[in-house]
Amino acid sequence: MCVGMLSRAKGSFGAYIVLTECGYIDNQYFIKDVKIAKVDGTTIKEDTWYFLKDGEFTEANENDY
């Protein structure tokens, strides 16, 4: 599980990852969304970094952070 601004997570096959997407308004951070997914090797690939973007699991690459 990873909570916070620009959080990302990865897991092995069969694991669950939990991510939050945060927003920023009036000098304050807030949690916009929380999602959980099972690493099934197809929809969520194992040992691949993910973050939430617009409420969806998105593969992260080095340009995302």
Q: What pLDDT score does 3 carry? A: 79
What confidence tens digit (pLDDT) does each residue in 9-36 have?
A: 999 999 999 999 998 899 988 999 999 9
Residue 36 forms beta bridges with which residues? 18
Q: What pLDDT score does 65 carry? A: 58
Q: What pLDDT score does 56 carry? A: 95
Q: Band of the pLDDT at 64, cuts 50, 70, 90?
A: low
Please answer whether residues 23 and 7 qualify as being in contact, where contact means their C-beta atoms are separated by less than 8 angstroms: no
Assess whether pLDDT exceeds 90 at residue 50: yes
What residue segments make up the domains of the chain, in order of their start?
16-64
More confident residue, 65 or 9: 9
Name the maximum alpha-carbon separation found in the chain.
40
